[in-house]
Amino acid sequence: MKTLYRQFIQTSLVFLVLSIVLGIVLTNVYYLSFTKQETIEQNLDRANEVAFTLEQMHGDTAALEPFLSSVANLGYQIALLDSNQQLTTFGEPFEDLTLTVQAKQVLTGQQIYTGENSGLSFFMTSHFSSRLDNTVGVPFEVDGQQYALFLRQDMNLLSSDIHTLLLAFLLSIAVVNLAGMFLMARQLTRPISLLHQATREVANDNYSHQLAISRPDEIGDLANSFNEMIGRLRQNDESRKTFITNVSHDLQSPLMNIKGYAELLSAKAADGSDEREYAEVIEREAKRLSGLAKQLLLLSSLDQPAYHLKADTYSLDDQIREAIKHYRWRLEEKELDVSLKLMKVSVYADRELMNYVWDNLISNAIKYSPSGSSIRIHLADEEGISVVIEDNGIGISAADLPYITERFYRADQSRSEEGTGLGLAIVKEIVRLHEGKIEFESKNGEGTKVKVYLPQYEEE
C-alpha cells in the first residue's frame, strides 16, 4: 500500500527539487539580463583607464610591464598581446589562454572586445571562469607599437567563497526542508493511524478506547468528536446491556410461576379436554419465553468486559458425544443418520459454555435437516482444534449467510421452525472468548457446514 506518509514525502521531495531548479534558472536569467552587462561595462572602464595611462607614458615600453604588474596586484588578471602576437600575462595565471577570432581583432581591427561572443555557457558560473576569452579587450598604442590589453577582475578567491556560500545555502535549505517534511508528515499521518486503530477497536465493540490526541487544529477537533462519539456509544452499550439483564431477570420468575401452574393444570385436567390443551399451550409458550430470557441473560453476561471463563481441561470428544446423546430422541424421530469421526482431544475451555456451542450447532443441524438425511461431525487436532458439523438440510442463502450470527437474525425459510435467532450470536461470542473462530459454508437447499476452530491451550 502506498501510505499517506510516503506520498507526502515523495510529493514534498519533488517540490523541493523543482524549487531548487527553478531558483537556479531564475537567478541565471536575472544575471544574464542585468548583472552581466554591468560587469562588462565596469571592466571596460578599467581597461580604458589603464590603456589611456599607458599611452600617456609617451612611448616608454620599458615601463609597460611593471605598470601592468602593479595594476594586476590591485586584483586583476591581465594579458597583453603585442603586434608579434606575443602574449604576456600579469597577475593570477589564466586557466585557458585561447584567444577567439574576435579577441584577436582588437589588435588588428582596433575594436574593443567584450567577451560576449566567446561562446561561454549560459550559466552564471561562467562569470567566474578564469579564461582569457572571459575578459574585455581594448587596443592601445605605445611607441608606435599596437597592443591589445585584456583584463578581468580576479575573482578566483571570491568565486570559491561564493561557491561555498551557495552550496551551504542550498544544503541548509535542503536539510531544513527535509527535516520539516519528515516532521510534518509524521504530524499528519500519526493521528490518522491512531484514528484508524481506534475505529477498529470500536468496530470490535471496545468502547473504552480513547484517542490520546490533543491539538489545536482540525485533527484535534476530529479526535475530540471521535472521543465524544465513543463516550456516547459506551453509554448506549451499557444501558442496552443493563436493560437486557434487568428485563430477562424480571421475566424469569413470573415465567417460572406460569410454567409451574400450567404444568399443574394440565396434570389435573382430563386427557383430551380443552383445559388440558390450553394449559399445554401456556406451558409451551412459557417454556419458550423462559428459554429466550435465559439466552438474553447469557448473552448479556458474555457481553460484560470483565467476563471470566471458568476453564478446565477435559475431553472434547466425550463432550460432543454427550451433546449428541442429548438429541437421541429427536434424531430417531427424524430418522437422521449421524456419522462421527472424533479424535481423542483434550481441550482447556469453559465446559458449560462449550456445551452450549455444541448443543446449539447440533440442534440447528437437526432442526434444519429434512427427515432421513445425514449429519457428519468431525473432530481433529490439526493446527489447533477443529470441529466440523455438516448437514444436508435446507441450507442458507448467500444473502442471509453474512448475517446469521447477528442477534435475532433468522433466515426467512427457517421461520417455520422454533427459534429465537440468538443461538449463533451466543455461539460466536463464546468461540471469540476462547480466542477461536467460527466459519460457515452453505448453499440454499444443499446443506450447511459449520467449522469451529479452537486454540490448543495448555492448562496454566
Q: With CA atoms as reference, report the closest residue to 205 among 244, 243, 227, 238.
A: 238
Q: Which helix (H) or strand (E) holds 452?
A: strand 447-454
Of 244 and 396, the one with the shorter C-beta distance to ligand ADP is: 396
Asked whether position 365 contacts ligand ADP by CB under 6 A, the answer is: yes
Asked whether position 360 contacts ligand ADP by CB under 6 A, the answer is: yes
List the strands of the sheet with 385-391, edge to edge. Answer: 337-342, 374-380, 385-391, 447-454, 437-443
Asked whether position 136 contacts ligand ADP by CB under 6 A, the answer is: no
Asked whether position 421 contacts ligand ADP by CB under 6 A, the answer is: yes
Asked whether position 317 contacts ligand ADP by CB under 6 A, the answer is: no
Of 155 and 302, the one with the shorter C-beta distance to ligand ADP is: 302
Asked whether position 115 contacts ligand ADP by CB under 6 A, the answer is: no
Of 319 and 448, the one with the shorter C-beta distance to ligand ADP is: 448
Of 104 and 451, the one with the shorter C-beta distance to ligand ADP is: 451
Exactly one of 118, 135, 364, 386 binds ligand ADP (CB under 6 A); that residue is: 364
Q: Beta-strand (E) ranges in 270-403? A: 311-315, 337-342, 346-350, 374-380, 385-391
The CA distance from 381 to 361, in Å, is 19
Smallest gap from residue 446 Cβ to ligand ADP (A): 10
Complete DSSP assignment for 108-170: HH---B-STTS---SSGGGGG--BTTSSEEEEEEETTEEEEEEEEE--HHHHHHHHHHHHHHH
Exactly one of 424, 430, 431, 452 binds ligand ADP (CB under 6 A); that residue is: 424
Of 419 and 436, the one with the shorter C-beta distance to ligand ADP is: 419
β-pairing, 145-153 vs 136-142, is: antiparallel
Of 286 and 366, the one with the shorter C-beta distance to ligand ADP is: 366
- Tell me which DSSP letter residue 271 carries: T
The CA distance from 36 to 42, in Å, is 10
Asked whether position 126 contacts ligand ADP by CB under 6 A, the answer is: no
Smallest gap from residue 333 Cβ to ligand ADP (A): 17
Applying CB under 6 A, the span of 154-162, 183-191, 324-332, 418-426 interacting with ligand ADP comes to: 418-426
List the strands of the sheet with 87-90, edge to edge. Answer: 87-90, 76-82, 145-153, 136-142
Binders of ligand ADP among residues 430 to 459 (CB under 6 A) are: 448
Smallest gap from residue 441 Cβ to ligand ADP (A): 11
367-406 mask for ligand ADP (x: CB under 6 A)?
-x----------------------x-xxxx-------x--
User: First CA to last CA across the chain, in angstroms?
Assistant: 40
β-pairing, 337-342 vs 374-380, is: parallel
Applying CB under 6 A, the span of 36-44, 90-98, 226-234, 364-372 interacting with ligand ADP comes to: 364-372
Exactly one of 36, 46, 152, 410 binds ligand ADP (CB under 6 A); that residue is: 410
- Beta bridge pairs of residue 78: 90, 151
Exactly one of 91, 139, 423, 436 binds ligand ADP (CB under 6 A); that residue is: 423
The CA distance from 357 to 349, in Å, is 12
For 107, residues 6+ apart whose C-beta sits below 8 A from its C-beta are: 81, 83, 85, 139, 146, 147, 148
Asked whether position 139 contacts ligand ADP by CB under 6 A, the answer is: no
Residues that bind ligand ADP (rule: CB under 6 A) add up to a total of 22
Asked whether position 420 contacts ligand ADP by CB under 6 A, the answer is: yes
State the residue for C-alpha cell 473462530. 437
- The residue number whose beta carbon is nearest to ligand ADP equals 419
Q: Beta-strand (E) ranges in 191-290? A: none
What is the contact surface with ligand ADP in residues (CB under 6 A)? Answer: 360, 364-365, 368, 391, 393-396, 404, 409-411, 414, 419-425, 448
